[in-house]
Amino acid sequence: DPCQNFHCKRGKVCHTDKQGKPHCICQDPATCPPTKDYEHVCGTDNKTYDGTCQLFGTKCQLEGTKMGRQLHLDYMGSCKYIPPCTDYEVDQFPLRMRDWLKNILVQYYERDLNTSGILTEKQRNKVKKIYQSDKRLVAGDHPVELLLYDFEKNYHMYVYPVHWQFHQLDQHPVDRLLTHSELAPLRASLVPMEHCITRFFQECDGDQDKLIALKEWCHCFGIKE
């Protein structure tokens, strides 16, 4: 099968022409496999799609149009009312996000104590210092004042988690720049719970070039140069 190892980007499928040569064509949204309700996604056009296959197939068919350029995955789940993010909320967002990233890494470390897999040895050595620190703020719903105080007192604990998350997202390609599609896995899963994340990432892009550089990312999280 000429299509067996022929890669097509999301929204496209491999098809062989009359000469038997493989090439990519747009996925017909109607041919996407059936999905469950929890697999529904919301597009940036505020329309609910049955799944990512249907969304990206639709985007592909609109290729070359303004609507196609503007259509992206907004968040996981059916479309719903997302309240606007206030100035106060967007200012507090990095505090919660930094704390969450730190605790995600600690959870990965704890899971890896018995079976290795999620973190590399180098990453484990970095997280070990955070895990073993008696100054670490344990996971929980902490008031903003405590998160701010902890960041100022234990700044070094937050630097690596912020860098780690950037490099987890910076994959296609690895170039120290985050595109909309590279941010999507993190953003799309958090929007229903963290309604400020979209505005936060928009404001992170200081030069408005639709790319978030490592320097811009760190600046947003309060990490010094």
* pLDDT at residue 116 in the model: 67
* Chain segment 132-165, per-residue pLDDT in tens: 999 999 999 999 999 999 999 999 999 999 999 9
Which residue stretches of 40-155 are H helix? 52-61, 66-70, 87-112, 121-132, 144-153
Tokens describing residue 196: 């400020």
Contacts of 170 (CB under 8 A, 6+ apart): 176, 177, 178, 182, 214
Please give the average per-residue pLDDT across 184-207, as a whole number: 91
Q: Tell me the pLDDT band of 5, cut-offs 50, 70 and 90.
A: confident
Residue type, 189: S
Q: Is the pLDDT of residue 211 over 80?
A: yes
CA separation (Å) from 111 to 88, 105, 114, 161, 204? 35, 10, 7, 17, 32
Domains in the chain, start-ordered, CATH in brackets? Answer: 12-76 (3.30.60.30), 87-221 (1.10.238.10)
State the pLDDT at residue 117: 77
105-119, 120-134, 137-151, 173-187: segment of lowest average pLDDT = 105-119
pTM above threshold 0.85:
no
Residue 195 to residue 89: CA distance in whole angstroms: 9
> pLDDT for 37-96, tens place per residue?
989 999 999 999 999 999 999 999 999 999 999 999 999 999 999 999 999 999 999 999
